[in-house]
A = this chain, B = another copy of it.
Amino acid sequence: MIPIILLENSNGLTDCPGFKAAGAACDVRELGDMERLDLAMVAADKPCSAAGVFTLNDICAAPVRLCKEILPRSGNKVAGFVANSGNANAATGEQGMADAKEMGALAQLSSGIGAPFLVCSTGRIGRKLPMERVESGIQTAAGKLSDDAQSSLNAADAILTSDTRRKVATAQFNFEGQTVTVSGMAKGAGMIEPNMATMLAFLTTDVIANSEQLKHVLTAAVNQTFNRISVDGDMSTNDTVLLFANGKSGVDPWDGPADLLFAFKEAVFKVCERLAELIVGDGEKVTKLVELMVQGCPRVQDAEKVARTVGNSLLVKASWYGSDPNWGRLASAAGDASVGLKEELLDIHYDDVPALLKGVPQDTRVADWKAVVAKKRFRITINLNQGNRDFRLLTSDLSEAYVNFNKSE
């Protein structure tokens, strides 16, 4: 087993050698604010491999459709990506697609790299991109591309929307004296649910890999991390996770011992996991983080259905917000998943404190339940005792401030 180290202080994408980044401010929101960074650009020193995982929403934003087009067409060698916040370029028709292409073309022109740029957007739906502003932002960013820490952090800041905190992570491991790096940055906040709603994440690595290999590793990591978090149950039109590999370390995980490939997969997983936790923890007006473990199901899909039904129940989430150990709502929501749960077999625990054992309330433990749900982060285990499959969902409470925050845009 090759040990993986998650850096204490990540600087985001340029922690990985061979990548440059920049953030620029171009007032995409058209609020007269030229201070807020809203355009990110990241490029490899030379064209690199890439893979992406995208939203399953029937309505794909133009940049998502463009990325899906570019990735196969280019044999997956790309320059990097350009991303704006403040406008999702979604539900914008043919003009939206033309604008997304223009963003990519201009990034390529400005940076002078002979490969296409992937394009991402996040923000308000249904409004045309202010292209003059975006274009000036791309030109500014291209002129500032650098591998220093601040440029990388600027890029991480530029993709944020209602996030309150920057989200970066870096994992490293050593193989035969060579350090291998996987770095990442993300934005989340609202509309977080399966399939990564209004979530963007970008990863860079210096392994040698082709796009099929990257896609395989990325898909597995996304399924175990970004697809197992939920803030409000909505899936957006723009969700995108991209992974870029420039080969700079000289290490090829597919050409070495099994441990090496495992270490690379684990590094990608750990960066995704860390970013996913940062996203839920910074969910819009979230006050509690809840790790929901559903166990003892006949099938994984049953466990997932129970977890998502419980984790998205407004009544359950409101009770977490109120620090109310209302296991009745948990049980009712679990039953609502209609997977054939048997009440007389059901166990529910708050952290390690039993609330329900084989359907029987453990009322003498009320004070202990309350102590658990009063915490900022706790675990709820729901065991159906009807099989051995499980599912873990990282979710959050629902606050009054969430509703207030989202009542208009």
Beta-carbon contact of B324 and A409 below 8 Å: yes
Question: Is A342 positioned at the interface, with any CB of B under 8 Å from its CB?
Answer: yes
Question: Is A232 positioned at the interface, with any CB of B under 8 Å from its CB?
Answer: yes
Chain B, Cβ-Cβ closest to A398? B403
Beta-carbon contact of A406 and B58 below 8 Å: no
Beta-carbon contact of A343 and B234 below 8 Å: no
- In the complex, which residues 186-220 of chain A have their Cβ closer than 8 Å to any Cβ of chain B? 190-191, 197
Question: Is A70 positioned at the interface, with any CB of B under 8 Å from its CB?
Answer: no
> Could you say which residues of chain B place their CB within 8 Å of the CB of A334?
58-59
Identical copies in the complex: 2
Nearest-neighbour CB distance to chain B for A204, whole angstroms, equals: 29
Chain A residues bordering chain B, tally (CB within 8 A): 67
> Could you say which residues of chain B place their CB within 8 Å of the CB of A91?
328, 331-332, 343, 356, 359, 361
Checking B90, B314, B344 against A398 with a beta-carbon cut-off of 8 angstroms, the contacting residue is B314
Nearest-neighbour CB distance to chain B for A401, whole angstroms, equals: 8
Question: Is A265 positioned at the interface, with any CB of B under 8 Å from its CB?
Answer: no
Beta-carbon contact of A409 and B332 below 8 Å: no
Beta-carbon contact of B403 and A319 below 8 Å: no
Beta-carbon contact of A321 and B126 below 8 Å: no
Nearest-neighbour CB distance to chain B for A358, whole angstroms, equals: 9
Nearest-neighbour CB distance to chain B for A86, whole angstroms, equals: 14
The complex places the Cα of A163 from the Cα of B44 at a distance, in Å, of 61
> Could you say which residues of chain B place their CB within 8 Å of the CB of A319?
406-409
> Could you say which residues of chain B place their CB within 8 Å of the CB of A315?
190-191, 232, 234, 406
Nearest-neighbour CB distance to chain B for A403, whole angstroms, equals: 5
Question: Is A130 positioned at the interface, with any CB of B under 8 Å from its CB?
Answer: no
The contact string, 1 if C-beta is below 8 Å from chain B, for chain A 49-78, is: 000000011111000000000000000000
> Could you say which residues of chain B place their CB within 8 Å of the CB of A318?
402-403, 405-407
The complex places the Cα of A63 from the Cα of B273 at a distance, in Å, of 45
The contact string, 1 if C-beta is below 8 Å from chain B, for chain A 321-354, is: 1111011110111111111111110100000000
Known contacts A59-B335, A235-B336, A313-B233; is A327 also within 8 Å of B126 by CB?
yes
Question: Is A10 positioned at the interface, with any CB of B under 8 Å from its CB?
Answer: no
- In the complex, which residues 16-60 of chain A have their Cβ closer than 8 Å to any Cβ of chain B? 56-60
The complex places the Cα of A338 from the Cα of B194 at a distance, in Å, of 12
The complex places the Cα of A402 from the Cα of B403 at a distance, in Å, of 9
Checking B126, B339, B360, B405 against A58 with a beta-carbon cut-off of 8 angstroms, the contacting residue is B339
> Could you say which residues of chain B place their CB within 8 Å of the CB of A313?
233-234
Beta-carbon contact of A314 and B232 below 8 Å: yes
Beta-carbon contact of A336 and B234 below 8 Å: yes
Question: Is A399 positioned at the interface, with any CB of B under 8 Å from its CB?
Answer: yes
Beta-carbon contact of A314 and B234 below 8 Å: yes
Q: Which residues of A contact B (CB under 8 A)?
A: 56-60, 88, 90-91, 93, 124-127, 190-191, 197, 232-237, 312-315, 318-319, 321-324, 326-329, 331-344, 346, 356, 359-361, 398-409
Known: A126-B361, A234-B333. 11 other contacts (CB 8 A): A57-B335, A58-B336, A59-B343, A88-B328, A90-B328, A125-B332, A197-B336, A318-B402, A318-B403, A318-B406, A322-B408
Q: List 24 A-B contacts (CB under 8 A).
A: A56-B338, A58-B336, A58-B337, A60-B335, A88-B328, A90-B328, A90-B332, A91-B331, A91-B332, A93-B344, A93-B359, A233-B314, A234-B333, A237-B332, A318-B406, A318-B407, A319-B407, A319-B408, A321-B403, A322-B407, A323-B408, A326-B408, A402-B403, A403-B403
User: Can you list the 8 inter-chain pairs with the closest CB atoms, starting with the nearest?
Assistant: A322-B407, A125-B328, A59-B335, A318-B406, A58-B335, A126-B328, A324-B408, A58-B341
